[in-house]
Structure 1
Amino acid sequence: MTWTGVFPAVTTKMDASGTIDFEATQASLDRLIGNGVSGVIVLPMLGENAALTQAERDAVVRAAKEVVAGRVPLLSGLAELSTDNAIAAARNYQKLGAEGLMVFPSLAYRTDRRETAAWYKAVAGASDLPVMIYNNPLAYKVDVDVETLKMLEDVPGIVAVKEETGDIRRVTDLFNAFGDRFDIFCGVDDLILESLALGVVGWVSGMTNAWPAECVKLFETAKRGDFASALPLYRLLTPAFHLDTDVKLVQYIKLAEHLVYGAPEHVRLPRLPVVGEERARAEAIISDTIASLKKRS
Protein backbone atom coordinates (compact mmCIF):
# COMPACT_ATOMS: atom_id res chain seq x y z
CA MET A 1 0.00 0.00 0.00
CA THR A 2 1.24 3.45 -0.91
CA TRP A 3 -0.09 6.40 1.05
CA THR A 4 0.16 9.96 -0.16
CA GLY A 5 -1.60 13.26 0.44
CA VAL A 6 -3.11 14.91 3.48
CA PHE A 7 -4.04 12.58 6.36
CA PRO A 8 -5.52 14.62 9.23
CA ALA A 9 -5.01 13.33 12.76
CA VAL A 10 -8.66 13.57 13.72
CA THR A 11 -9.86 15.01 17.02
CA THR A 12 -12.34 12.99 19.08
CA LYS A 13 -15.30 15.22 19.80
CA MET A 14 -16.65 15.38 23.40
CA ASP A 15 -19.60 16.89 25.18
CA ALA A 16 -19.23 19.10 28.26
CA SER A 17 -19.08 16.06 30.56
CA GLY A 18 -16.20 14.51 28.61
CA THR A 19 -18.37 11.84 26.97
CA ILE A 20 -17.57 11.11 23.34
CA ASP A 21 -19.89 12.89 20.91
CA PHE A 22 -20.03 10.31 18.13
CA GLU A 23 -22.37 12.34 15.95
CA ALA A 24 -20.00 15.31 15.96
CA THR A 25 -16.99 13.03 15.41
CA GLN A 26 -18.63 11.43 12.39
CA ALA A 27 -19.68 14.84 11.05
CA SER A 28 -16.09 16.06 11.27
CA LEU A 29 -14.84 12.99 9.39
CA ASP A 30 -17.41 13.52 6.67
CA ARG A 31 -16.42 17.19 6.43
CA LEU A 32 -12.75 16.28 6.06
CA ILE A 33 -13.41 13.76 3.31
CA GLY A 34 -15.77 16.15 1.56
CA ASN A 35 -12.97 18.72 1.46
CA GLY A 36 -10.55 16.41 -0.28
CA VAL A 37 -8.27 14.77 2.28
CA SER A 38 -6.57 11.59 1.11
CA GLY A 39 -6.97 9.58 4.33
CA VAL A 40 -7.96 9.96 7.97
CA ILE A 41 -6.32 8.85 11.20
CA VAL A 42 -8.53 8.35 14.24
CA LEU A 43 -7.20 7.82 17.77
CA PRO A 44 -4.00 9.81 17.37
CA MET A 45 -2.74 11.58 20.46
CA LEU A 46 -4.60 14.60 19.09
CA GLY A 47 -7.66 12.34 19.38
CA GLU A 48 -6.95 11.91 23.12
CA ASN A 49 -6.17 8.23 22.64
CA ALA A 50 -4.49 7.77 26.01
CA ALA A 51 -7.47 9.26 27.88
CA LEU A 52 -9.99 6.81 26.38
CA THR A 53 -10.95 3.35 27.55
CA GLN A 54 -10.46 0.46 25.17
CA ALA A 55 -14.22 0.19 24.72
CA GLU A 56 -14.31 3.85 23.71
CA ARG A 57 -11.43 3.40 21.26
CA ASP A 58 -13.25 0.46 19.68
CA ALA A 59 -16.40 2.54 19.37
CA VAL A 60 -14.50 5.40 17.71
CA VAL A 61 -13.06 3.05 15.07
CA ARG A 62 -16.50 1.53 14.42
CA ALA A 63 -18.09 4.95 14.08
CA ALA A 64 -15.32 6.09 11.77
CA LYS A 65 -15.60 2.97 9.62
CA GLU A 66 -19.31 3.61 9.22
CA VAL A 67 -18.98 7.18 7.99
CA VAL A 68 -15.75 6.82 6.00
CA ALA A 69 -17.35 3.93 4.11
CA GLY A 70 -14.29 3.14 2.02
CA ARG A 71 -13.96 6.62 0.53
CA VAL A 72 -10.40 7.07 1.82
CA PRO A 73 -8.01 4.91 3.85
CA LEU A 74 -8.94 4.74 7.54
CA LEU A 75 -5.98 4.47 9.92
CA SER A 76 -6.07 4.08 13.67
CA GLY A 77 -3.51 5.29 16.13
CA LEU A 78 -2.02 2.55 18.31
CA ALA A 79 -0.54 3.70 21.62
CA GLU A 80 0.12 1.04 24.25
CA LEU A 81 2.40 0.31 27.19
CA SER A 82 3.40 -3.32 26.66
CA THR A 83 4.25 -5.34 23.57
CA ASP A 84 1.51 -7.87 24.36
CA ASN A 85 -1.07 -5.10 24.53
CA ALA A 86 0.21 -3.57 21.30
CA ILE A 87 -0.06 -6.91 19.51
CA ALA A 88 -3.60 -7.40 20.79
CA ALA A 89 -4.52 -3.85 19.76
CA ALA A 90 -3.23 -4.34 16.21
CA ARG A 91 -5.33 -7.46 15.79
CA ASN A 92 -8.33 -5.77 17.36
CA TYR A 93 -8.20 -2.70 15.09
CA GLN A 94 -7.97 -4.94 12.04
CA LYS A 95 -11.12 -6.79 13.13
CA LEU A 96 -12.88 -3.45 13.65
CA GLY A 97 -12.14 -2.41 10.07
CA ALA A 98 -9.12 -0.13 10.25
CA GLU A 99 -7.01 -0.23 7.08
CA GLY A 100 -3.73 0.85 8.61
CA LEU A 101 -2.05 1.71 11.89
CA MET A 102 -0.07 4.72 13.05
CA VAL A 103 2.03 3.15 15.79
CA PHE A 104 3.61 5.02 18.69
CA PRO A 105 6.63 3.68 20.59
CA SER A 106 5.89 2.11 23.95
CA LEU A 107 4.45 4.72 26.27
CA ALA A 108 5.77 2.91 29.34
CA TYR A 109 9.50 2.86 28.75
CA ARG A 110 12.16 4.73 26.80
CA THR A 111 13.34 1.93 24.52
CA ASP A 112 16.81 1.82 22.99
CA ARG A 113 17.30 1.13 19.29
CA ARG A 114 17.23 -2.65 19.58
CA GLU A 115 14.12 -2.57 21.77
CA THR A 116 12.42 -0.02 19.53
CA ALA A 117 13.00 -2.21 16.48
CA ALA A 118 11.67 -5.24 18.33
CA TRP A 119 8.55 -3.29 19.32
CA TYR A 120 7.74 -2.29 15.75
CA LYS A 121 8.52 -5.75 14.37
CA ALA A 122 6.11 -7.29 16.87
CA VAL A 123 3.29 -4.88 16.03
CA ALA A 124 3.83 -5.13 12.28
CA GLY A 125 3.77 -8.93 12.49
CA ALA A 126 0.59 -9.06 14.56
CA SER A 127 -1.85 -8.16 11.77
CA ASP A 128 -2.12 -7.68 8.04
CA LEU A 129 -2.42 -3.92 8.41
CA PRO A 130 0.30 -1.63 7.02
CA VAL A 131 2.09 0.38 9.68
CA MET A 132 3.14 4.00 9.81
CA ILE A 133 5.81 4.65 12.43
CA TYR A 134 5.05 7.67 14.57
CA ASN A 135 8.41 9.31 15.23
CA ASN A 136 8.14 12.18 17.70
CA PRO A 137 11.20 12.03 19.97
CA LEU A 138 10.46 15.46 21.42
CA ALA A 139 7.28 14.13 23.02
CA TYR A 140 8.05 10.43 23.55
CA LYS A 141 11.85 10.45 24.01
CA VAL A 142 12.36 7.63 21.50
CA ASP A 143 13.87 8.47 18.12
CA VAL A 144 13.24 6.00 15.30
CA ASP A 145 16.30 7.29 13.51
CA VAL A 146 18.14 6.03 10.44
CA GLU A 147 20.06 3.37 12.38
CA THR A 148 16.82 2.05 13.94
CA LEU A 149 15.04 2.02 10.59
CA LYS A 150 17.86 -0.05 9.12
CA MET A 151 16.74 -2.81 11.49
CA LEU A 152 13.18 -2.46 10.14
CA GLU A 153 13.94 -2.09 6.45
CA ASP A 154 13.13 -5.73 5.71
CA VAL A 155 9.78 -5.72 7.57
CA PRO A 156 7.23 -5.51 4.74
CA GLY A 157 4.37 -4.41 6.97
CA ILE A 158 6.14 -1.16 7.88
CA VAL A 159 5.40 1.16 4.99
CA ALA A 160 5.61 4.76 6.24
CA VAL A 161 7.21 7.11 8.74
CA LYS A 162 5.57 10.14 10.28
CA GLU A 163 8.61 12.38 10.65
CA GLU A 164 8.19 14.72 13.61
CA THR A 165 11.67 15.33 14.94
CA GLY A 166 11.41 19.02 14.06
CA ASP A 167 14.79 18.72 12.32
CA ILE A 168 14.13 19.27 8.62
CA ARG A 169 17.48 17.65 7.77
CA ARG A 170 16.07 14.27 8.79
CA VAL A 171 13.89 14.11 5.67
CA THR A 172 16.90 14.13 3.36
CA ASP A 173 18.77 11.71 5.61
CA LEU A 174 15.87 9.25 5.30
CA PHE A 175 15.76 9.49 1.52
CA ASN A 176 19.52 9.13 1.27
CA ALA A 177 19.45 6.03 3.47
CA PHE A 178 16.36 4.30 2.11
CA GLY A 179 15.31 5.83 -1.20
CA ASP A 180 11.60 5.24 -1.60
CA ARG A 181 11.47 2.22 0.75
CA PHE A 182 9.30 4.15 3.23
CA ASP A 183 6.59 6.68 2.50
CA ILE A 184 7.79 9.76 4.39
CA PHE A 185 5.09 11.96 5.90
CA CYS A 186 5.59 15.37 7.43
CA GLY A 187 4.18 15.28 10.95
CA VAL A 188 4.63 18.96 11.82
CA ASP A 189 2.19 21.50 10.40
CA ASP A 190 4.66 24.36 10.40
CA LEU A 191 7.25 22.40 8.39
CA ILE A 192 5.02 21.15 5.57
CA LEU A 193 6.28 23.43 2.82
CA GLU A 194 9.91 22.75 3.69
CA SER A 195 9.20 19.01 3.86
CA LEU A 196 7.48 18.98 0.48
CA ALA A 197 10.46 20.77 -1.03
CA LEU A 198 12.58 17.84 0.19
CA GLY A 199 10.28 15.17 -1.23
CA VAL A 200 7.81 13.96 1.41
CA VAL A 201 4.74 12.27 -0.05
CA GLY A 202 2.23 12.93 2.73
CA TRP A 203 1.23 15.09 5.67
CA VAL A 204 -0.22 13.98 9.00
CA SER A 205 -1.78 17.28 9.97
CA GLY A 206 -3.52 18.72 13.00
CA MET A 207 -4.87 22.04 11.76
CA THR A 208 -6.38 20.36 8.71
CA ASN A 209 -9.22 19.56 11.12
CA ALA A 210 -10.10 23.27 11.04
CA TRP A 211 -9.19 24.18 7.44
CA PRO A 212 -9.24 21.02 5.32
CA ALA A 213 -9.83 22.62 1.91
CA GLU A 214 -7.07 25.17 2.46
CA CYS A 215 -4.59 22.59 3.73
CA VAL A 216 -5.31 20.25 0.82
CA LYS A 217 -4.82 23.16 -1.59
CA LEU A 218 -1.54 24.07 0.11
CA PHE A 219 -0.28 20.50 -0.08
CA GLU A 220 -1.29 19.91 -3.68
CA THR A 221 0.07 23.25 -4.89
CA ALA A 222 3.46 22.68 -3.28
CA LYS A 223 3.55 18.98 -4.22
CA ARG A 224 3.42 19.88 -7.90
CA GLY A 225 6.32 22.31 -7.36
CA ASP A 226 4.43 25.60 -7.49
CA PHE A 227 6.01 27.04 -4.36
CA ALA A 228 5.48 30.63 -5.50
CA SER A 229 1.70 30.07 -5.31
CA ALA A 230 1.88 27.99 -2.13
CA LEU A 231 4.06 30.36 -0.12
CA PRO A 232 1.50 33.15 0.55
CA LEU A 233 -1.06 30.62 1.84
CA TYR A 234 1.60 28.92 3.96
CA ARG A 235 2.65 32.21 5.51
CA LEU A 236 -0.98 33.04 6.24
CA LEU A 237 -1.60 29.69 7.95
CA THR A 238 1.72 29.37 9.79
CA PRO A 239 0.74 31.28 12.96
CA ALA A 240 -2.13 28.82 13.41
CA PHE A 241 0.15 25.94 12.41
CA HIS A 242 2.46 26.87 15.28
CA LEU A 243 -0.38 25.94 17.66
CA ASP A 244 -0.06 22.34 16.39
CA THR A 245 3.39 22.07 18.01
CA ASP A 246 2.33 23.29 21.46
CA VAL A 247 1.79 20.92 24.38
CA LYS A 248 -1.85 22.08 24.37
CA LEU A 249 -2.38 21.31 20.69
CA VAL A 250 -5.54 19.31 21.50
CA GLN A 251 -7.21 22.30 23.14
CA TYR A 252 -5.98 24.71 20.47
CA ILE A 253 -7.03 22.63 17.48
CA LYS A 254 -10.43 21.90 18.99
CA LEU A 255 -10.79 25.62 19.66
CA ALA A 256 -9.95 26.31 16.02
CA GLU A 257 -12.58 23.80 14.89
CA HIS A 258 -15.10 25.44 17.20
CA LEU A 259 -14.42 28.93 15.89
CA VAL A 260 -14.28 27.87 12.23
CA TYR A 261 -17.34 25.64 11.97
CA GLY A 262 -18.94 25.25 15.40
CA ALA A 263 -17.59 21.87 16.45
CA PRO A 264 -17.53 21.19 20.21
CA GLU A 265 -14.24 22.18 21.81
CA HIS A 266 -14.59 20.08 24.99
CA VAL A 267 -11.67 17.90 26.08
CA ARG A 268 -11.25 14.88 28.35
CA LEU A 269 -9.63 15.24 31.76
CA PRO A 270 -6.83 15.68 32.77
CA ARG A 271 -6.85 18.28 30.00
CA LEU A 272 -8.75 21.46 30.81
CA PRO A 273 -10.02 24.07 28.34
CA VAL A 274 -7.72 27.02 27.84
CA VAL A 275 -8.82 30.20 29.60
CA GLY A 276 -7.74 33.78 30.25
CA GLU A 277 -4.76 35.23 28.41
CA GLU A 278 -3.85 31.83 27.01
CA ARG A 279 -7.25 31.50 25.36
CA ALA A 280 -7.25 35.10 24.18
CA ARG A 281 -3.90 34.60 22.46
CA ALA A 282 -5.06 31.45 20.67
CA GLU A 283 -8.39 33.01 19.71
CA ALA A 284 -6.61 36.03 18.25
CA ILE A 285 -4.39 33.83 16.07
CA ILE A 286 -7.31 31.71 14.89
CA SER A 287 -9.59 34.70 14.29
CA ASP A 288 -6.88 36.52 12.32
CA THR A 289 -6.46 33.39 10.19
CA ILE A 290 -10.20 33.16 9.56
CA ALA A 291 -10.32 36.81 8.52
CA SER A 292 -7.27 36.55 6.27
CA LEU A 293 -8.66 33.49 4.52
CA LYS A 294 -11.93 35.33 3.87
CA LYS A 295 -10.01 38.15 2.21
CA ARG A 296 -8.34 35.61 -0.11
CA SER A 297 -11.60 34.01 -1.20
Structure 2
Amino acid sequence: MSWTGVFPAVTTKMRSDGEIDIKATQASLDRLIANGVSGVIVLPMLGENASLRQAERDAVVTAAKEVVAGRVPLLSGLAELSEEDAVKAARNYEKLGAEGLMVFPSLAYRTDSRETVAWYRAVGGASGLPIMIYNNPIAYRVDVGPEELAQLADVKTIVCIKEESGDIRRITDIYNRVGDRYAVFCGVDDLILESVALGVTGWVSGMTNAWPAECVRLFNLCRDGNFDEARKLYRILTPSFHLDTSVKLVQYIKLAEHLVYGAPDAVRRPRLPLADADRREASAIIQEAIAALARKAA
Protein backbone atom coordinates (compact mmCIF):
# COMPACT_ATOMS: atom_id res chain seq x y z
CA MET A 1 0.00 0.00 0.00
CA SER A 2 1.22 3.47 -0.85
CA TRP A 3 0.58 5.64 2.20
CA THR A 4 0.02 8.85 0.35
CA GLY A 5 -2.90 10.85 -1.02
CA VAL A 6 -6.46 11.42 0.12
CA PHE A 7 -8.15 8.68 2.15
CA PRO A 8 -11.72 9.79 2.96
CA ALA A 9 -13.25 8.63 6.23
CA VAL A 10 -16.41 7.32 4.63
CA THR A 11 -19.83 7.95 6.12
CA THR A 12 -22.15 4.97 6.55
CA LYS A 13 -25.39 5.83 4.81
CA MET A 14 -28.59 5.28 6.80
CA ARG A 15 -32.26 5.06 5.94
CA SER A 16 -34.76 7.24 7.78
CA ASP A 17 -35.46 4.36 10.17
CA GLY A 18 -31.79 4.28 11.22
CA GLU A 19 -30.92 1.06 9.41
CA ILE A 20 -27.89 0.90 7.11
CA ASP A 21 -28.41 1.70 3.44
CA ILE A 22 -25.84 -0.60 1.86
CA LYS A 23 -26.58 0.44 -1.73
CA ALA A 24 -26.17 4.15 -0.92
CA THR A 25 -22.94 3.39 0.95
CA GLN A 26 -21.60 1.47 -2.04
CA ALA A 27 -22.62 4.28 -4.39
CA SER A 28 -20.74 6.74 -2.22
CA LEU A 29 -17.60 4.59 -2.30
CA ASP A 30 -17.81 4.26 -6.07
CA ARG A 31 -18.19 8.04 -6.43
CA LEU A 32 -15.15 8.68 -4.23
CA ILE A 33 -12.96 6.31 -6.22
CA ALA A 34 -14.19 7.71 -9.55
CA ASN A 35 -13.10 11.15 -8.36
CA GLY A 36 -9.53 10.14 -7.66
CA VAL A 37 -9.10 9.31 -3.98
CA SER A 38 -6.10 7.17 -3.11
CA GLY A 39 -7.79 4.92 -0.54
CA VAL A 40 -10.99 4.61 1.47
CA ILE A 41 -11.63 4.05 5.17
CA VAL A 42 -14.95 2.54 6.18
CA LEU A 43 -16.19 2.39 9.79
CA PRO A 44 -14.39 5.50 11.01
CA MET A 45 -15.96 7.79 13.61
CA LEU A 46 -17.76 9.39 10.66
CA GLY A 47 -19.05 5.93 9.78
CA GLU A 48 -20.80 5.77 13.16
CA ASN A 49 -18.71 2.71 14.02
CA ALA A 50 -19.50 2.71 17.74
CA SER A 51 -23.25 2.81 17.04
CA LEU A 52 -23.24 -0.29 14.84
CA ARG A 53 -23.70 -3.93 15.75
CA GLN A 54 -20.82 -6.25 14.82
CA ALA A 55 -22.87 -7.96 12.11
CA GLU A 56 -23.51 -4.52 10.59
CA ARG A 57 -19.83 -3.65 10.65
CA ASP A 58 -19.07 -6.92 8.90
CA ALA A 59 -21.72 -6.14 6.29
CA VAL A 60 -20.22 -2.70 5.63
CA VAL A 61 -16.72 -4.10 5.13
CA THR A 62 -18.01 -6.90 2.90
CA ALA A 63 -20.07 -4.49 0.80
CA ALA A 64 -17.14 -2.10 0.54
CA LYS A 65 -14.83 -4.89 -0.57
CA GLU A 66 -17.29 -5.76 -3.32
CA VAL A 67 -17.58 -2.27 -4.77
CA VAL A 68 -13.97 -1.16 -4.25
CA ALA A 69 -12.85 -4.27 -6.13
CA GLY A 70 -9.14 -3.62 -5.68
CA ARG A 71 -9.18 -0.19 -7.29
CA VAL A 72 -7.77 1.50 -4.16
CA PRO A 73 -6.74 0.19 -0.73
CA LEU A 74 -9.66 -0.51 1.62
CA LEU A 75 -9.12 0.21 5.32
CA SER A 76 -11.51 -0.47 8.16
CA GLY A 77 -11.81 1.48 11.36
CA LEU A 78 -11.34 -0.59 14.51
CA ALA A 79 -13.03 0.82 17.60
CA GLU A 80 -13.41 -1.51 20.57
CA LEU A 81 -13.67 -1.41 24.35
CA SER A 82 -11.34 -4.23 25.43
CA GLU A 83 -7.99 -5.43 24.18
CA GLU A 84 -9.43 -8.90 23.66
CA ASP A 85 -12.18 -7.56 21.42
CA ALA A 86 -9.72 -5.35 19.53
CA VAL A 87 -7.49 -8.33 18.78
CA LYS A 88 -10.49 -10.36 17.59
CA ALA A 89 -11.70 -7.48 15.45
CA ALA A 90 -8.33 -7.11 13.74
CA ARG A 91 -8.36 -10.77 12.77
CA ASN A 92 -11.99 -10.57 11.69
CA TYR A 93 -11.47 -7.58 9.39
CA GLU A 94 -8.45 -9.29 7.87
CA LYS A 95 -10.62 -12.33 7.03
CA LEU A 96 -13.29 -10.08 5.53
CA GLY A 97 -10.76 -8.62 3.12
CA ALA A 98 -9.75 -5.28 4.60
CA GLU A 99 -6.26 -4.28 3.53
CA GLY A 100 -5.46 -2.09 6.52
CA LEU A 101 -6.84 -0.87 9.84
CA MET A 102 -7.33 2.56 11.36
CA VAL A 103 -7.16 1.74 15.06
CA PHE A 104 -8.82 3.86 17.73
CA PRO A 105 -7.66 3.84 21.35
CA SER A 106 -9.80 1.87 23.78
CA LEU A 107 -13.26 3.42 23.92
CA ALA A 108 -13.79 2.12 27.46
CA TYR A 109 -11.03 3.84 29.34
CA ARG A 110 -8.69 6.81 29.13
CA THR A 111 -5.38 4.98 28.91
CA ASP A 112 -2.14 6.57 30.10
CA SER A 113 1.00 6.52 27.95
CA ARG A 114 2.15 3.06 29.07
CA GLU A 115 -1.30 1.56 28.57
CA THR A 116 -1.72 3.24 25.19
CA VAL A 117 1.52 1.72 23.94
CA ALA A 118 0.42 -1.70 25.23
CA TRP A 119 -2.93 -1.37 23.45
CA TYR A 120 -1.41 -0.62 20.06
CA ARG A 121 1.29 -3.22 20.52
CA ALA A 122 -1.37 -5.88 21.15
CA VAL A 123 -3.47 -4.90 18.13
CA GLY A 124 -0.35 -4.60 16.02
CA GLY A 125 0.51 -8.21 16.74
CA ALA A 126 -2.97 -9.55 16.13
CA SER A 127 -2.95 -9.70 12.34
CA GLY A 128 -0.78 -9.08 9.33
CA LEU A 129 -2.67 -5.92 8.36
CA PRO A 130 -0.88 -2.57 8.30
CA ILE A 131 -2.17 -0.17 10.93
CA MET A 132 -2.85 3.54 10.97
CA ILE A 133 -3.01 4.87 14.53
CA TYR A 134 -6.00 7.15 14.99
CA ASN A 135 -4.75 9.92 17.24
CA ASN A 136 -7.58 12.22 18.27
CA PRO A 137 -6.90 13.36 21.84
CA ILE A 138 -9.55 16.06 21.61
CA ALA A 139 -12.32 13.49 21.20
CA TYR A 140 -10.88 10.49 23.02
CA ARG A 141 -8.59 12.06 25.62
CA VAL A 142 -5.76 9.71 24.65
CA ASP A 143 -2.68 11.12 22.93
CA VAL A 144 -0.22 9.10 20.85
CA GLY A 145 2.65 11.53 20.63
CA PRO A 146 6.28 11.34 19.50
CA GLU A 147 7.41 9.40 22.58
CA GLU A 148 4.70 6.76 22.21
CA LEU A 149 5.54 6.42 18.53
CA ALA A 150 9.19 5.91 19.41
CA GLN A 151 8.25 3.10 21.78
CA LEU A 152 6.11 1.44 19.07
CA ALA A 153 8.73 1.73 16.34
CA ASP A 154 9.58 -1.99 16.56
CA VAL A 155 5.99 -3.05 15.75
CA LYS A 156 6.31 -3.54 12.01
CA THR A 157 2.58 -3.56 11.29
CA ILE A 158 2.15 -0.02 12.65
CA VAL A 159 3.06 2.09 9.67
CA CYS A 160 1.03 5.31 9.81
CA ILE A 161 -0.49 7.84 12.19
CA LYS A 162 -3.55 9.97 11.57
CA GLU A 163 -2.52 13.11 13.43
CA GLU A 164 -5.56 14.94 14.78
CA SER A 165 -4.29 16.66 17.89
CA GLY A 166 -5.04 20.05 16.34
CA ASP A 167 -1.50 21.22 17.14
CA ILE A 168 0.26 21.85 13.84
CA ARG A 169 3.63 21.75 15.63
CA ARG A 170 3.10 18.06 16.34
CA ILE A 171 3.97 17.07 12.78
CA THR A 172 7.47 18.48 13.03
CA ASP A 173 7.89 17.02 16.51
CA ILE A 174 7.05 13.55 15.16
CA TYR A 175 9.57 13.80 12.33
CA ASN A 176 12.22 15.13 14.68
CA ARG A 177 11.69 12.25 17.11
CA VAL A 178 11.20 9.23 14.80
CA GLY A 179 12.25 10.48 11.36
CA ASP A 180 10.31 8.88 8.53
CA ARG A 181 9.55 5.67 10.44
CA TYR A 182 5.83 6.35 10.00
CA ALA A 183 3.70 7.88 7.30
CA VAL A 184 2.04 10.91 8.88
CA PHE A 185 -1.46 11.79 7.70
CA CYS A 186 -3.35 14.97 8.43
CA GLY A 187 -6.60 14.14 10.19
CA VAL A 188 -8.07 17.65 10.38
CA ASP A 189 -9.67 19.09 7.26
CA ASP A 190 -8.95 22.71 8.15
CA LEU A 191 -5.23 22.06 8.64
CA ILE A 192 -4.45 20.26 5.39
CA LEU A 193 -2.54 23.03 3.61
CA GLU A 194 -0.39 23.71 6.67
CA SER A 195 0.15 19.99 7.25
CA VAL A 196 1.33 19.25 3.71
CA ALA A 197 3.72 22.20 3.96
CA LEU A 198 5.23 20.49 7.02
CA GLY A 199 5.62 17.13 5.30
CA VAL A 200 2.55 14.92 5.79
CA THR A 201 2.13 12.31 3.08
CA GLY A 202 -1.64 11.87 3.22
CA TRP A 203 -4.98 13.17 4.41
CA VAL A 204 -7.81 11.36 6.19
CA SER A 205 -10.61 13.72 5.27
CA GLY A 206 -14.25 14.12 6.20
CA MET A 207 -15.47 16.70 3.70
CA THR A 208 -13.96 14.71 0.84
CA ASN A 209 -17.20 12.72 1.11
CA ALA A 210 -18.96 15.77 -0.32
CA TRP A 211 -16.24 17.20 -2.60
CA PRO A 212 -13.86 14.38 -3.60
CA ALA A 213 -12.51 15.91 -6.82
CA GLU A 214 -11.94 19.29 -5.19
CA CYS A 215 -10.23 17.80 -2.14
CA VAL A 216 -7.98 15.60 -4.27
CA ARG A 217 -7.06 18.68 -6.31
CA LEU A 218 -6.36 20.65 -3.14
CA PHE A 219 -4.08 17.94 -1.79
CA ASN A 220 -2.25 17.59 -5.10
CA LEU A 221 -1.72 21.35 -5.40
CA CYS A 222 -0.21 21.40 -1.89
CA ARG A 223 1.90 18.31 -2.53
CA ASP A 224 3.25 19.84 -5.74
CA GLY A 225 4.10 23.09 -3.97
CA ASN A 226 1.55 25.17 -5.87
CA PHE A 227 0.42 27.01 -2.78
CA ASP A 228 -0.85 30.08 -4.64
CA GLU A 229 -3.54 28.01 -6.35
CA ALA A 230 -4.05 25.83 -3.29
CA ARG A 231 -4.82 28.82 -1.09
CA LYS A 232 -7.60 29.97 -3.43
CA LEU A 233 -9.36 26.62 -3.22
CA TYR A 234 -8.60 26.23 0.49
CA ARG A 235 -10.20 29.57 1.31
CA ILE A 236 -13.39 28.50 -0.46
CA LEU A 237 -13.58 25.17 1.37
CA THR A 238 -12.26 26.12 4.81
CA PRO A 239 -15.56 27.40 6.28
CA SER A 240 -17.05 23.99 5.45
CA PHE A 241 -13.89 22.26 6.66
CA HIS A 242 -14.43 23.91 10.05
CA LEU A 243 -17.59 21.80 10.36
CA ASP A 244 -15.34 18.71 10.43
CA THR A 245 -14.04 19.77 13.85
CA SER A 246 -17.47 20.03 15.48
CA VAL A 247 -18.99 17.39 17.76
CA LYS A 248 -21.77 17.29 15.14
CA LEU A 249 -19.35 16.47 12.33
CA VAL A 250 -21.25 13.34 11.29
CA GLN A 251 -24.49 15.28 10.83
CA TYR A 252 -22.70 18.18 9.13
CA ILE A 253 -20.75 16.07 6.66
CA LYS A 254 -23.80 14.00 5.80
CA LEU A 255 -25.67 17.26 5.27
CA ALA A 256 -22.92 18.42 2.91
CA GLU A 257 -23.19 15.17 0.95
CA HIS A 258 -26.94 15.62 0.77
CA LEU A 259 -26.70 19.19 -0.52
CA VAL A 260 -23.89 18.48 -2.99
CA TYR A 261 -25.13 15.26 -4.58
CA GLY A 262 -28.33 14.12 -2.89
CA ALA A 263 -27.02 11.41 -0.55
CA PRO A 264 -29.21 10.46 2.41
CA ASP A 265 -28.33 12.43 5.54
CA ALA A 266 -29.99 10.29 8.22
CA VAL A 267 -27.98 9.30 11.30
CA ARG A 268 -28.38 6.64 13.97
CA ARG A 269 -29.16 7.34 17.59
CA PRO A 270 -27.79 8.50 19.92
CA ARG A 271 -27.12 11.08 17.21
CA LEU A 272 -30.21 13.05 16.28
CA PRO A 273 -30.99 15.13 13.20
CA LEU A 274 -29.65 18.65 13.42
CA ALA A 275 -31.77 21.23 15.20
CA ASP A 276 -33.34 23.68 12.76
CA ALA A 277 -31.00 26.55 13.66
CA ASP A 278 -27.89 24.37 13.32
CA ARG A 279 -29.09 22.99 9.99
CA ARG A 280 -29.80 26.45 8.60
CA GLU A 281 -26.40 27.77 9.68
CA ALA A 282 -24.48 24.79 8.29
CA SER A 283 -26.53 24.77 5.09
CA ALA A 284 -25.67 28.41 4.46
CA ILE A 285 -21.95 27.66 4.83
CA ILE A 286 -22.13 24.64 2.54
CA GLN A 287 -24.27 26.40 -0.07
CA GLU A 288 -21.79 29.28 -0.20
CA ALA A 289 -19.00 26.79 -0.95
CA ILE A 290 -21.12 25.17 -3.66
CA ALA A 291 -21.74 28.57 -5.24
CA ALA A 292 -18.12 29.68 -4.95
CA LEU A 293 -16.87 26.47 -6.56
CA ALA A 294 -19.34 26.97 -9.41
CA ARG A 295 -18.10 30.54 -9.92
CA LYS A 296 -14.51 29.35 -9.88
CA ALA A 297 -15.25 26.69 -12.50
CA ALA A 298 -17.11 29.13 -14.79
> TM-score, with normalisation over the residues of structure 1?
0.99
Query: Separation in 1 of the partners of 2:196 and 2:144?
Result: 21
Deviation at 1:148, TM superposition (A): 1.0
Give the aligned partner of residue 290 of structure 1.
290
What are the superposed Cα offsets for residues 119-147 of structure 1, whole Å, 9 maximum, x if unpaired?
A: 00110100000000000000000000111
Give the aligned partner of residue 42 of structure 1.
42
Query: Separation in 2 of the partners of 1:192 and 1:59?
Result: 32
Give the aligned partner of residue 279 of structure 1.
279
Alignment of 1:97-246 (within 5 A): 97-246=97-246
Q: For this pair of structures, how many residues does the alignment match? A: 297
Deviation at 1:275, TM superposition (A): 2.4
What are the superposed Cα offsets for residues 198-227 of structure 1, whole Å, 9 maximum, x if unpaired?
A: 000000000000000000000001101110
Give the aligned partner of residue 74 of structure 1.
74
Are positions 1:94 and 2:91 aligned together? no
Residue identity opposite 1:96 in structure 2: L
Residue identity opposite 1:101 in structure 2: L
> TM-score, with normalisation over the residues of structure 2?
0.99
Query: Separation in 1 of the partners of 2:274 and 2:178?
Result: 42
**8 Å contact 2:147–2:177 — kept in the other structure?**
no
What are the superposed Cα offsets for residues 265-288 of structure 1, whole Å, 9 maximum, x if unpaired?
A: 000011111121111000000000
Query: Separation in 2 of the partners of 1:69 and 1:124?
Result: 25
What are the superposed Cα offsets for residues 62-116 of structure 1, whole Å, 9 maximum, x if unpaired?
A: 0000000000000000000000000000000000000000000000011111110
Deviation at 1:151, TM superposition (A): 1.0
Query: Separation in 1 of the partners of 2:110 and 2:20?
Result: 31
Deviation at 1:2, TM superposition (A): 3.5
Greater mean deviation of Cα atoms: 78-87 or 274-283: 274-283
Residue segments in structure 1 that go unaligned for 5+ positions in a row: none
Residue segments in structure 2 that go unaligned for 5+ positions in a row: none
**8 Å contact 2:76–2:100 — kept in the other structure?**
yes
Which structure 1 residue ranges, 4+ long, deviate > 6 Å from structure 2? none
Deviation at 1:47, TM superposition (A): 0.3
Residue identity opposite 1:215 in structure 2: C
- Secondary structure at the aligned position of 2:76 is classed as strand
Query: Separation in 2 of the partners of 1:215 and 1:181?
Result: 26
Query: Separation in 2 of the partners of 1:148 and 1:218?
Result: 31
Percent identity at matched positions?
73
Query: Separation in 2 of the partners of 1:172 and 1:150?
Result: 14
Query: Separation in 2 of the partners of 1:25 and 1:150?
Result: 37
**8 Å contact 1:207–1:241 — kept in the other structure?**
yes
